[in-house]
Structure 1
Amino acid sequence: MVSTVEHAGSRPEAAWGAVLSMALCVAMLIASEFMPVSLLTPMAEGLGATEGQTGQAISVSGLFAVAASLLITTAAGRLNRKWVLVALTFFMLLSLVLVAVAPSFTVLMIGRAVLGICIGGFWALATAVIMRLVPAQDVPKALALMYAGQAIAAAFAAPIGSYLGGIFGWRDVFWALTPIVAINLVWHMIALPSLPAQQRQDVRALLDLLKRQYFRRGLMACMLSWGSAFSMFTYLRPFLEQVTGVDVATLSVLLLLLGCAGFIGTWAAGRFIKGDAAPFLKLPALVMGGATVGLLLLGHSVIATGFLMVIWGAMNTMFSVIWMTWMSQNADDAPEAAGSLMVAAIQASILLGTVVGGLLLDGISIRAPFIGSVVLAVFAVALIGNGRTLLNPQET
């Protein structure tokens, strides 16, 4: 496996400019995928749908992301991974345009489906590409840097989207993202080195990984953890409006706090996640599940809610780094196949968490998705334990 970008006649060098390009793509993906969270209420009103139905705009992108994550590495065959990433970024640009001009709920869902293709394809390849851009010992650092894009999007996309949506309308918020994605498309072409396919991916590689008991257990634990997070996060705005009783300005401040806390998580991920990932695996479900319990108990207080959202936001950005580091350490012989399965598992859990959360919201109450989130977190922590059963025996 090639861990660095090699130049003829010179020693291997880490391509940090390419890592930064990937980080911007992550920021735009996160902003595009979860912008409906901060605009859920006005989007529902504008499209004549319920908040629960509009929440499915996130789930439909997850549905297509699951399919794309499983198929993209096989469909791409021997194509250069650089140009696959460029094509996927173009799909993100197309999706934003479709959502911005959507005259109906159906067109909105089509735009979100196109985004799902980009999400699934990008994340399926992302960790494998990072493993080729930097030396093996720098992979956790590079992952943390790439996921800094997630912290940036979490810090600014939701609060700015909520604020600007209240002034200009939700469609203009999506239009505002398009020039940034266009710049990222050009940056990919310049910064990413040529990344020829190292081996032809097929279904057998996926099946071989699924035969490994530790990897299956890790996928299930990952799914429970992500499902817990997004059955709550997708419906955070209605909770803050109905339970905490905030207006748009206060909502924007709270979302900004949550997002800025992500920089703490990114720093902590780069600082502390080194070597064995096992001790960190249960932290996302444990900490974020605990914060959700706190919101259920203290959500009527704006100050307490802000504090709990800071805790949730900090762990949210560590979440991906922890689990992708686990994948890079325990499936380094088949990184693209492992990436496909990990992304499929994560997107499936987001899909299920969002769908079930929407049904609980529409059918019971705003607190119901949060209770469901806590239940999933408990199952995740129980399955992970001390994390040792999720490690490759050959690596321990």
Structure 2
Amino acid sequence: MSGPQTATNDTALSGTGGWPAVWSIAMGVFALVTAEFLPASLLTPMGEALGVSAGQMGQAVTVTALMALLGGLAIVPLTKGIDRRRVMVALSGLMLVSNLAVALAPNLWVLLAARIGLGLALGGFWAIAAATTIRLVSERQAPKALSLIFSGVPLATITAAGLGSYLGGLWGWREVFAMATLLSALTMAAQWMLLPPLTAQAGGSMAGLWAVLKRPGLGLGIGVVTLIFTAHFAGFTYLRDYLEHQQLGLQVISLVLLGFGLANFCGTLLAGRLIGRYLPKVLLGATVALLMALLLLGLLDQGSALLGLVMIVLWGLAFGGTPVSWSTWVTQVVPDQTESGGALIVSAIQLAIALGALMGGVIVDTSGAGAVMLASGLVLLVATLILVASRRRLH
């Protein structure tokens, strides 16, 4: 396979010519996020097969997130002189190896080792994805392009949560990871053929990351992001366990998770239309909606099934707009250092995923999944209060 010709500058890629490349990045997001959260939808069968508890199995998400944190921080300094196309293809290759190793893993330790590779690929890819995307299209098209690549997140949620759970029950969890391996191969091929060679942005270094972090409002925003994503992923990692606690069958659970994913997708599309003009309101509104949903799920526990379903859909809708909104926010706060800003926010998110899965694992093994949802709601309450009190400093 031969890749596209080198563009003389970024403006040469603007307009329709850059959209196939944007689609290949969206495909990478989809494949990586699908792989990241497959253990959450296959928690019970994977745990039973490997002889571990749900809380222990959930640490497959924690390990991935911790490695993604390191990958997100390291990718910009370590690859500052390397073509972004080659970096993205290499990271997709690392994802492929990880998924294949998980499919063949004989025990939890081998599986966790395999997830280290996925974490590094995930963090590295996310760190440069937004910055690369906005170089592929015109400034006017940037919000639409970012919305497109982030639509890979809810689509992956649908696949990992709904389809992954169903296929895992039908065929087995190892077969599901084998399918993820094939998806990784297709992603590599698409990126090699469609992404143009792109030089790295100047200024990539650990000192540069620290300097960017000290920009006005950025550190505070990163802190709020960490709280929001910790709460979300504490709940999401153990959502299947929560639904099983409601004594729902596998088909019903798969449909509920599918509904969550569809709502997530709609939330991403809706946010993509609104963030250009109403970004501060979207950031606050999504956080408040998440607070309501998770807090009520924790309080309901085995209460009204219908209200619980409504809250899960609201949760999915609200979180759909969260990643794209905060990623757009960071490109506006540090428009001259979008790769460094992206690396910082991705690392914060991955730290939050690790903290969420770890916190949720401890709580679910001691107090149950309902308590996880309640704790997540309380964390979101703190995030909401900070966001309300600091709106002027963040914008």
Normalised-by-shorter TM-score class: over 0.9
Q: Is the 8 A contact 1:225 1:284 kept in 2?
A: no
What is the alpha-carbon distance in structure 2 between the residues aligned to residue 208 and residue 158 of structure 1? 38
- CA contact 2:28–2:187 (8 Å) conserved in 1: yes
Please tell me whether the aligned partners of residues 228 and 285 of structure 1 are also in contact (alpha carbons under 8 angstroms). no
Count of residue pairs brought into register by the alignment: 386
Once the two structures are overlaid, the 10-residue window that deviates more, 119-128 or 302-311, is 302-311
1:60 to 50, 60, 63: 63
Deviation at 1:77?
A: 2.4
In the other structure, the counterpart of 1:345 is 348
8 A contact 2:64–2:118 mirrored in 1: yes
Deviations 1:267-296 (A, max 9, x none): 201211114622222233211121112212
The separation in 1 between residues aligned to 2:271 and 2:295, in whole angstroms, is 24
Q: How does 1:1-396 map to 2 (within 5 A)?
A: 13-14=14-15, 15-242=18-245, 244-275=246-277, 277-300=279-302, 301-385=304-388, 387-391=391-395
Deviation at 1:183, TM superposition (A): 1.0
Distance in 1 between residues matched to 2:162 and 2:214, nearest whole Å:
43
SS of the aligned residue for 1:194 comes to coil
Tell me the amino acid that sits aligned with residue 24 of structure 1: M
Cα contact 1:287–1:312 (8 A) shared by 2: yes
Contact 2:102 2:177 in 1 (8 A): yes
Letter in 1 for 2:14: E
- State the AA in 2 paired with 1:27: F
CA shift at 1:198, angstroms?
3.0
Amino acid at match of 2:320: T
- The one-letter code matched in structure 2 to 1:136 is E
Does the 8 A contact of 2:84 with 2:200 survive in 1? yes
The one-letter amino acid of 2:185's match is A
Cα offset for 1:304? 2.2
Contact 1:282 1:381 in 2 (8 A): yes
Contact 2:26 2:148 in 1 (8 A): yes
Q: Deviation of residue 266 (structure 1)? A: 2.2
Q: Aligned partner of 1:293: which letter?
A: L
2:384 counterpart SS class: helix
TM-score for the superposition, normalised by structure 1: 0.94
Instruction: Give the 3-state SS of the residue equivalent to 2:251 in structure 1.
Output: helix
Q: CA deviation at 1:133?
A: 0.9
Using the TM superposition, name which of 194-203 and 81-90 deviates more: 194-203
Instruction: Name stretches of at least 5 consecutive residues in structure 2 with no aligned partner.
Output: 1-5
| 1: CA distance, partners of 2:128 / 2:32 | 14
Provide the secondary structure at the position in 2 that maps to 1:25.
helix
Change over 3 Å in CA distance of 1:11–1:111 after alignment to 2: closer
Give the match's secondary structure for 1:157. Answer: helix
Quickly say closer, same or farther: Cα 1:276–1:304, change in 2 above 3 A: closer
Deviation, structure 1 residue 263: 2.5
Root-mean-square deviation over aligned CA pairs: 1.7
Q: What SS does structure 1 have at the residue aligned with 2:217?
A: helix
Distance 2:272 2:66 in 1: 31
Q: What is the CA distance between 1:200 and its match in structure 2? A: 4.5
The farther-off stretch of 372-381 and 133-142 is 133-142
Task: After TM superposition, give the deviation of residue 380 of structure 1 in Å.
Answer: 0.5
Farther-moved stretch of structure 1 (272-281 vs 28-37): 272-281
Identity %: 37
Distance in 2, Cα, partners of 1:92 & 1:204: 28
Distance of 1:92 and 1:11 partners within structure 2 = 30
Q: Is the 8 A contact 1:78 1:200 kept in 2?
A: no
